[in-house]
């Protein structure tokens, strides 16, 4: 199976379930930036429920700025804010201390461009989870996906939480605040990773039915 992906910031479990099942993927960096999507935001668990962490970006061409040209803003000290939010949310989770040193350096010295920062985080997650999918960037907009390719650019969005187009199956797992908030589905992959560690692969495998390969 092959994927066509947007660049995503610590993408949701559904995204990584797709990467678990795929052989290769193309990340479209030529598409226009879309606000309020996973391209520059992720969702983590807090005692009050899901919390969005949004990366501030500079759009030289407004809404027509290609993803490849989006720079991360220097305002607001967002790297420290985002890292502190992750620590606050997951410092008591079973595996946060085990993986923290893999993520902390990326926030201490983030890449200047959104796609590069997202890529560094994705490569870290895929390495920790042992996901073999090969992801290649495309600097130009992909107008016509290759045959046998699942196009996720318009599907991976917080506005479609059910992910019905993916046949995504919600598989509950341990979460630190679950007794207070109930299970929160399809949060950022770090929620799964920090809570389950190596067992995260089992959840990813169960999240997509076999029929996904035929979509």
pLDDT at 77 over 50: yes
- CA distance linking residue 119 with residue 132, whole number of Å: 15
* Percent of the chain at pLDDT exceeding 90: 81
Say what the pLDDT of residue 214 is.
Answer: 45
Residue 178 in this model has a pLDDT that exceeds 60: yes
Instruction: Summarize the confidence of residues 197-212 as an average pLDDT.
Output: 87
pTM for this one?
0.94
Of the candidates 112, 116, 208, 115, the one whose C-alpha atom is nearest the C-alpha of residue 164 is 208
Residue 161 in this model has a pLDDT that exceeds 80:
no
Q: Binning pLDDT at 50, 70 and 90, where does residue 211 land?
A: low
Domains in the chain: boundaries = 2-214
Handedness of CA 204, 115, 56, 197 (dihedral sign): positive
Which candidate, 104, 18, 112, 34, places its Cα nearest to that of 74?
A: 112
């Amino acid at each position: 199976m092959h994927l066509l992906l947007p660049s995503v910031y610590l993408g949701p479990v559904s995204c990584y379930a797709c990467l678990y099942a795929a052989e290769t993927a193309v990340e479209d960096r030529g598409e226009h930036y879309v606000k309020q999507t996973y391209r520059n935001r992720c969702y983590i668990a807090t005692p009050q429920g899901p919390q969005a962490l949004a990366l501030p970006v500079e759009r030289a061409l407004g809404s027509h700025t290609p993803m490849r040209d989006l720079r991360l803003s220097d305002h607001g000290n967002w790297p420290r804010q985002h890292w502190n939010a992750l620590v606050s949310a997951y410092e008591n989770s079973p595996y946060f201390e085990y993986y923290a040193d893999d993520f902390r350096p990326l926030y201490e010295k983030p890449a200047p461009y959104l796609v590069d920062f997202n890529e560094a985080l994705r490569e870290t997650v895929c390495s920790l989870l042992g996901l073999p999918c090969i992801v290649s960037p495309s600097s130009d907009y992909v107008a016509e996906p290759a045959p046998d390719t699942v196009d996720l650019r318009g599907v991976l969005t917080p506005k479609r939480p059910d992910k019905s187009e993916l046949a995504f199956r919600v598989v509950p797992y341990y979460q630190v605040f679950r007794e207070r908030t109930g299970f929160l589905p399809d949060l950022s992959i770090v929620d799964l990773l920090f809570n389950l560690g190596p067992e995260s692969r089992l959840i990813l495998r169960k999240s997509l039915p076999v029929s996904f390969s035929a979509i």
